[in-house]
Amino acid sequence: MPDSVAVVELDCVQQQVVALPDEADAVVLGAAGTGKTSVLVELVAERVLTRGWDPGAIVAIAASRRAAAALRDRIAARLGVVTPGPMARTAASLAHGIVARAAAAAGDPPPRYVSGADHDRIVAELLAEEIERDADGYWPASIGRAVRGLAAFRSELRDFVARATERGLRPEAIAALGAERDRPEWIAMSRFLPALAARIELEHRGFTPLDSAYVLRRAAELAAAGDPVAAGLRLVVVDDAQELGRGALELVRSLAAGGARVVALGDPDLATGGFRGAAPGGFLEAAFWAAAGRPRPAPLVLPTAHRQTAGVRAALAAVTGAVGAAGAGPQRAAAAASPGGRALSVSVADAADLMAFLARAIRERAVAGTPWGRMAVVARNGGSVPRLARELRGLDVPAAGAGISEVRRDDWAVQSLVELLRIAIDGARTGTVAVDPAGAELLLTGSVGRLDALALRRLRAALRRQALIDDPDDVRRGSELLAEAIATPGGFAMLEPRPETRAADRVAGLLHAAVAGVRAGRSAEELLWDVWAGSGLERSWGAAALGTGLAADEADRHLDSVLAVFEAAKRYVEREPDGSAARFIEDWARAQVEEDSLAPRASPAAVAVGTPAALIGQEYDVVFIADLQEGVWPNPRVRGSVLRTGELVELADGIDPASIDRRREVLSDELRLLAAAIGKAAGEVVAVCVEGEEDAPSPFVRLLPEHCSTAELGEDAVAPLTLRGLVGRLRRELVRTGDPAAAAALARLAAEAVPGAHPDDWFGLAPPTTLAPLRPDDEEVPVHPSELGTFIECPLHWALRHLGGDAGSAAASLGTIVHDAAHAIAGSEEPVGVLRERIAATLRSRWPELEFESGWLERKEWQRAEAIAERLADYQAGLVAAGGGTLASETRLRLAIERAVLSGRIDRVERVVEDETARIVVVDFKTGAESRAETRDQLEGHPQLATYQLALAAGAIEGVDPTAVDGAELGGARLVVLSPRARRAIRPQLPLDAERARYWTERIAEAAEGMAGRTFVAFADSHCLGWGGGGLCPIHVVEAVSA
């Protein structure tokens, strides 16, 4: 039992509420911070402890399950006595208890709650099945198949069902209204609803399926009929009564009609559920009280905002003053209990600065003494909450999403677990374990295998090498071999036992063990436990979660996600004892709404991140508002516009839809959300917005009394307030100015072992590993003609690539295959069509050797390969037609020039006939997208071609004797650019004369000395970023930083 708490001191109006007579009803209006929940707790305590009421005769209704849990604890702590059951519940929980007891008494099947996730799944299945059977012709054209496939449409459809159920609208009535108002979407829904009800009944056979809307209506009917549980209640106290929907209002009205007294506390200005059917002023309406057979009590208005400062109170008054009256208003005059406080908006330049400012502002207040758990960040949309919490944690702010259920289906922590089970289930059903390349990659890079991209690449390369050893003609890709190895027991046995091999073998073992488990009839929950136990994740994540920092937070999130899968599997097994594991996996894969859970989403030692609705019942010292952007908050879109749900509800409630200003209603709801967000704060509100060329602040910003920008606050406003950030700023200051104070501060931080503070951790300050040259003075220097140009352009670039800075590729490149095709047709005199087909055949046979990241990229590259094949065939046919031919293909050269030893492979040496003159020409094929050698000067300065010419003149090319070719003279060299984007295919370099031959000989000798040396200079030029902006240098150069 919670520890008892001290009695709070009440103001005069709060005392009036507590002293109400036994037979009195009451409406209590109170602005944020006026103590509505406190007076509720004291009211219940006074009835039980002073008047001696039975605790079972009192129920407090809260707006959400988490609010109910918190209120339940407060009441229990205040009473300090044992109660027969929970005294605080949601309206749906109370209704479920009434319906369940009535069903048991009548001998009816027990009720079973249909969760939002179940409802969404069933709706999605029915819509998909209609399309598959081509039985969806009754939907209007405005709600086409694409629309019905959207999660947003399903959400609107489920809201339509709930609102219609609350009002007892049956399909026939909906169809009649649709015909009367010419609303084909209502007529379509009247046809869909019976199918939906039948499917829910089928899935929950043996039970009475209930969703929240139906259980409220059914409980209201039972209460009106004298249900004993309802009749035993003497007092119903409603906290945050502005959040009551129509169904909850009907239940409270029925309880009142049955004799219970009602005390409703709330503020219509703070309603957060308007978009979900809440009636902000419903508890104030005379019709509500008249239906209960009672006069409407005169509102008691709480006069003092006890926990709010004057600054926050003024901002809240400005916002609520713009809200429609909704039947209330006097609570807006509440006075702040204390002076001071502030509410301001801050504009930043972009989204990155927004997060940086939030993180710094939160940390500043934490340093000043505000506990993490007394601060909150409020977002307009629930979808923003996980991102905000994640990015704040990345900026060293402990943050946790409050009340937001994330769909775990796409979470990295669970994807590979579920995929492994899916493959195992399919394998057990078909008798053959089949793994596709995408599935294999997911298993190995997900939480089960935990391999990074480099390890995966090494594994594919090892499998490819082994395949070629086993069969030199094997053309399967590495990704195909990987999938086959996982699907085959012992598929990795022939590979060297490296870490990635052992990890892959472990994944394969888990997969085949899961197949055996499926065949043995194990349940989905048992199969998940089997995989989890064998994965080793429990040890690694469990140990990490016990620590602190970002790694611990990440491990916590992973464990939460895995737990969500286990909980879903457990509920599935309990709900469907005979259900198959395959069905569970299908349901999980389709889920768009997570199963509900009472598991805490926020920690008292963390900043709460949530929507106004998720933070109902909470209060904080400081509240940050993150979504005040134009088009976001307020969101001007009218809700329920596809199915026109609002219009249907208005007709059912006897309201003329033409009298409703929907835009104004939406604006009022958005203002209420903002008021609810501000109302969470006691001392300070900081709203942050982006103001730039493409982003504009919300017009709501003008309602806050203060405004400034980070530009006005200075660069410190977005500088990280962390030890890492401080180290970075001090190092920058020291480098720029040499400030001794910065050096002293760094020395102090280094003494405390702060990472990055000690110069030993700084790049560029460590002494060289060695000062010796790459090669001794008496050693030959191998020079590859293709690398000579790189060295001349930038020695450092050459050194980085030559010494391992170039990642290269494990798979064959397209250029390699094209060169092989060119070699295959060298000397051919066949027609161009035959040549094209021969080249294409080579491409097709070698194509599986290539690896592509996606299908569209492979298709694009194949189109380029076909165009290259055409150019190569045209070139070969043109060479022969002009009387030329191939003297050598894919031949080697070797030429010594002082220390340099030129060696390499030449694509071709050809006999070319031009202007009736025969010449010997060295040819180099280029398959890249473009070549920088365009102009005559660029071609004359092309080192690779010049090197080939020197080798040809010296007779240093294998298989070619230029003096033995009758009637032919040395004709220079040429680039043949095969890329379809090239403007010119043939780009010649003129024959070297004596002076240019001497020039290149000297350059080669100089380059060899440089390649053997110990210092490599960077020549910063256009090659640093690369022509076309792609970037060629292994050192990543960013222009704006490096300039």
Residue-wise pLDDT for 502-532, tens only, equals: 888 888 898 889 889 888 888 888 888 888 8
The predicted structure's pLDDT at residue 1022? 58
The predicted structure's pLDDT at residue 9? 82
Res. 628 pLDDT band, cuts 50 70 90: confident
Other C-beta atoms lying within 10 Å of the C-beta of residue 1005? 16
pLDDT, one tens digit per residue, over 828-843 is 899 999 999 999 988 8
The predicted structure's pLDDT at residue 614? 86
Q: Is the pLDDT of residue 378 over 90?
A: yes
Phi, psi (degrees; rounded to nearest 5) at 467: -65, -40
The predicted structure's pLDDT at residue 766? 74
The one-letter amino acid code at 61 reads I
Among 425-434, 875-884, 940-949, name the one with the lowest average pLDDT: 425-434
Res. 1027 pLDDT band, cuts 50 70 90: very low
Q: What is the pTM of this model?
A: 0.67
The predicted structure's pLDDT at residue 1028? 39
The predicted structure's pLDDT at residue 374? 92
Res. 895 pLDDT band, cuts 50 70 90: very high
Average pLDDT over residues 225-231: 84
Q: Is the pLDDT of residue 396 over 50?
A: yes
For the chain, the average pLDDT equals 84
In this structure, are strands 917-926 and 235-238 parallel, antiparallel, or unpaired?
Answer: unpaired
Among 637-641, 723-727, 929-933, name the one with the lowest average pLDDT: 929-933
Among 255-259, 426-430, 474-478, 603-607, name the one with the lowest average pLDDT: 603-607
pLDDT, one tens digit per residue, over 305-361 is 888 899 999 999 889 888 865 545 788 888 888 888 889 989 988 888 899 899 999
DSSP alpha helices (H): ranges in 267-309?
Answer: 286-291
Average pLDDT over residues 970-974: 90
Report CA-CA distances (Å) from 585 to 440, 873, 939: 18, 53, 62
Res. 979 pLDDT band, cuts 50 70 90: confident
d(CA 711, CA 713): 5
More confident residue, 575 or 905: 905
Coil, strand or helix at 112: strand
Q: What percent of the chain has pLDDT over 70?
A: 91
Phi, psi (degrees; rounded to nearest 5) at 807: -65, -30
The predicted structure's pLDDT at residue 812? 45
Coil, strand or helix at 345: strand
Question: In angstroms, how far is CA 150 from the centroid of its own chain?
Answer: 18
d(CA 345, CA 197): 49
d(CA 313, CA 14): 20
- List 346's β-bridge partners, or say none: 688, 708
The one-letter amino acid code at 62 reads A
Is the CB of residue 909 less than 8 Å from the CB of residue 922? yes
The predicted structure's pLDDT at residue 2? 44
Is the CB of residue 525 less than 8 Å from the CB of residue 570? yes
Among 507-521, 560-574, 587-601, name the one with the lowest average pLDDT: 587-601
Q: Is the pLDDT of residue 593 over 60?
A: no
d(CA 852, CA 585): 29
Res. 549 pLDDT band, cuts 50 70 90: low
Average pLDDT over residues 120-133: 90
Structural element, H or E, at residue 910: strand 900-914
Rounded to 10°, the helix 412-430/550-575 angle is: 40
Q: Is the pLDDT of residue 1031 over 70?
A: no
Res. 870 pLDDT band, cuts 50 70 90: very high
pLDDT, one tens digit per residue, over 479-506 is 888 888 888 888 888 888 888 888 888 8
Return the closest-CA partner of residue 234 out of 44, 14, 41.
Answer: 44
The predicted structure's pLDDT at residue 409? 58
Average pLDDT over residues 212-224: 88
Average pLDDT over residues 136-161: 89
The predicted structure's pLDDT at residue 403? 56
Question: What letter does residue 916 receive in the DSSP assignment?
Answer: T
For the chain, how big is the Rg over CA atoms in Å? 38
Structure tokens at 806: 């170039």
Among 30-34, 603-607, 959-963, 1035-1039, name the one with the lowest average pLDDT: 1035-1039
The sign of the dihedral angle between the CA atoms of 95, 98, 102, 105 is positive
Res. 178 pLDDT band, cuts 50 70 90: very high
d(CA 940, CA 992): 9
Structure tokens at 685: 């509100």
Give the list of residues 6+ apart from residue 159 with CB closer than 8 angstroms, or none: 276, 277, 640, 645
pLDDT, one tens digit per residue, over 314-326 is 999 889 888 865 5
Res. 598 pLDDT band, cuts 50 70 90: very low
The sign of the dihedral angle between the CA atoms of 266, 271, 274, 275 is negative
The predicted structure's pLDDT at residue 1038? 47
Res. 809 pLDDT band, cuts 50 70 90: very low
In this structure, are strands 900-914 and 917-926 parallel, antiparallel, or unpaired?
Answer: antiparallel
Res. 599 pLDDT band, cuts 50 70 90: very low
The predicted structure's pLDDT at residue 1023? 59
The segment with the largest mean pLDDT, out of 385-389, 395-399, 491-495, 919-923, is 919-923
Average pLDDT over residues 920-939: 77
Q: Is the pLDDT of residue 537 over 60?
A: yes
The predicted structure's pLDDT at residue 1034? 59
The one-letter amino acid code at 895 reads L
Q: Is the pLDDT of residue 238 over 90?
A: yes
The upper half-sphere exposure of residue 93, i.e. CA atoms within 13 Å in the direction of its Cβ, equals: 17
**Could you tell me how many helices (H) and strands (E) the chain has, helices first?**
39, 23
Res. 568 pLDDT band, cuts 50 70 90: confident
The one-letter amino acid code at 843 reads L
Is the CB of residue 677 less than 8 Å from the CB of residue 378? yes
pLDDT, one tens digit per residue, over 677-705 is 999 999 899 999 988 877 888 898 888 88
Average pLDDT over residues 391-417: 74
The predicted structure's pLDDT at residue 1041? 39
The predicted structure's pLDDT at residue 81? 75
Q: Is the pLDDT of residue 923 over 90?
A: yes
Question: What letter does residue 109 receive in the DSSP assignment?
Answer: P
Question: What letter does residue 768 receive in the DSSP assignment?
Answer: P
Terminal-residue alpha carbon distance, the chain = 66
Coil, strand or helix at 341: coil
pLDDT, one tens digit per residue, over 440-463 is 888 888 888 888 888 888 888 888
- List 911's β-bridge partners, or say none: 885, 920
Is the CB of residue 380 less than 8 Å from the CB of residue 689? no
Report CA-CA distances (Å) from 49 to 70, 81, 966: 21, 9, 121
The predicted structure's pLDDT at residue 705? 86
Angle value at C-alpha 112, between 110 and 116, nearest 5 degrees = 170
pLDDT, one tens digit per residue, over 767-786 is 788 888 989 988 999 999 98
